[in-house]
């Protein structure tokens, strides 16, 4: 039961929906201020851009969960079922190593930015918070890739697939 709850946890979806609603509200407020009040919110465009960065990284993790990343499946289509599992495991392992690279190097980047005290020009947000999207997105991807590997190696756990 615990494994199914972790698999079905829609962390990425909730974060993506909340982020998108926030961007819509910010852009709508900017339009209202610019055209009806003849004043501009200088900070809203910058904040929307930063939220969009977060959406991209969390969306990458969601795409792993939903199995929607672009793939070249030429080799998988010409081998038998056990060969498909081997190819899929190799691809997931390489992808996992890349996601782990993002987590490790993204964390190092955040620590170095934190030391400099760099802040965003309009909002005064510490820039390490903006860059935190990289290791968090990579971390979510690593979790989802581990789940994918488990489902490939133990197919009975993946009743109906991870696609929800």
Does the residue 98 lie in any domain?
A: yes
Quick one: CA torsion of 48, 50, 54, 59, rounded to 10 degrees? Answer: 50
> What average pLDDT is seen over the chain?
86
Does the residue 164 lie in any domain?
A: no
Does the residue 122 lie in any domain?
A: yes
Which phi and psi angles does 126 have, rounded to 5°? -60, 130
Q: What is the pLDDT of residue 5?
A: 58
Contact 67, 162 (CB under 8 A): yes
**Counting beta carbons within 10 angstroms of the beta carbon of residue 136, is it exposed (0 to 12), middle (13 to 18) or buried (19 or more)?**
buried
Does the residue 94 lie in any domain?
A: yes
Question: How many residues in total does the chain contain?
Answer: 164
Range of the domain at 40: 2-157
Using CA atoms, how far apart are residues 73 and 122, in angstroms rounded to an integer?
45
Q: What is the pLDDT of residue 159?
A: 46
> How many domains would you assign to the chain?
1
Q: What is the pLDDT of residue 10?
A: 79
> Vertex 104, ends 99 and 93: CA angle to 5°?
30
Using CA atoms, how far apart are residues 144 and 131, in angstroms rounded to an integer?
21
Does the residue 163 lie in any domain?
A: no
Using CA atoms, how far apart are residues 110 and 136, in angstroms rounded to an integer?
11
Per residue in 23-81, pLDDT tens? 999 999 999 988 888 888 888 889 999 999 999 999 998 998 888 888 777 777 788 88
CB atoms closer than 10 angstroms to residue 56: 11
Does the residue 91 lie in any domain?
A: yes
> DSSP letter at 39?
-
Does the residue 31 lie in any domain?
A: yes
Does the residue 162 lie in any domain?
A: no
Q: What is the pLDDT of residue 1?
A: 43
């Amino acid at each position: 039961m615990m494994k199914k709850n972790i698999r079905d946890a829609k962390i990425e979806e909730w974060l993506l929906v909340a982020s998108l609603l926030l961007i819509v509200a910010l852009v709508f407020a900017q339009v209202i201020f610019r055209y009806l009040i003849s004043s501009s919110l200088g900070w809203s465009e910058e904040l929307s851009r930063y939220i969009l960065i977060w959406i991209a990284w969390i969306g990458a993790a969601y795409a792993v969960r939903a199995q929607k990343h672009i793939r070249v499946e030429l080799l998988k289509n010409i081998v038998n079922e056990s060969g498909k599992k081997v190819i899929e495991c190799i691809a997931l392992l390489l992808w996992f190593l890349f996601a782990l690279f993002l987590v490790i190097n993204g964390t190092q980047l955040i620590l170095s930015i934190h030391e400099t005290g760099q802040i965003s020009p309009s909002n005064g947000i510490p820039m390490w918070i903006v860059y935190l999207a990289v290791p968090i997105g990579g971390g979510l991807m690593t979790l989802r890739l581990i789940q994918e590997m488990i489902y490939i190696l133990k197919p009975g756990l993946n009743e109906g697939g991870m696609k929800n």
